[in-house]
Amino acid sequence: MNNTPQPHDSNDRLAREIHRVLRAQPDRAAPDSLEARVFAGIERRAALPWWRQSFSRWPIAARAAFMIVSAALAAVMIVTFARVLNIVPAQIESRTGALVSDYWEIITGYCARYLAGIPSHVFAIAAAVIGACYAALFGLGAAAYRYFWKPGARHSEPVSHT
């Protein structure tokens, strides 16, 4: 049997020793001003209106409305893109008052017939257009946040973080 220490044994021993030494250190007290700043930050966030808080804190009705509007806008963008490329079949144009199930039937039939015939470069162009729209929306959102909501962004003095 070989009694020479293996590299992982010495590493484990070193890790246990470091852990023991660190556990033996006394706890450090937080600065007195930290507690006040933390509670002020919590109160400031709690006082924000619901639309400025995290999406998970929005009321259920607002979240549902947001999702419905987002889905509707996505559908409008898809239909508009299809019209621009002139790939919308006449049945979709003539059935504007149909029920959702009729639309589903039309869309699945359309996909089965026409999607296979679309050249692959159209999908690449669509992905590029969608990516550019997303980047533009992200940039505009960041600029709007910086201009309208970030404190001190419109003034030359620096923002205070205290």
Q: What's the rounded Cα separation, in Å, for the pair 53 and 35?
A: 22
The answer on pLDDT for 147 being more than 60 is yes
Mean pLDDT of 59-81: 87
Hey, which bits of 22-153 come out as E strands? none
Residue 91 has what pLDDT? Answer: 55
The answer on pLDDT for 158 being more than 60 is no
Task: Give the pLDDT confidence of 91-131 residue by residue, as tens digits.
Answer: 555 544 445 556 667 777 777 777 777 787 888 899 999 99
pTM over 0.95: no
Token representation of residue 24: 């033996």
Q: 72 with 64: CB under 8 angstroms?
A: no
Q: Domain ranges for the chain, please list them.
A: 120-149
Confidence tier at 151 by pLDDT (50, 70, 90): low
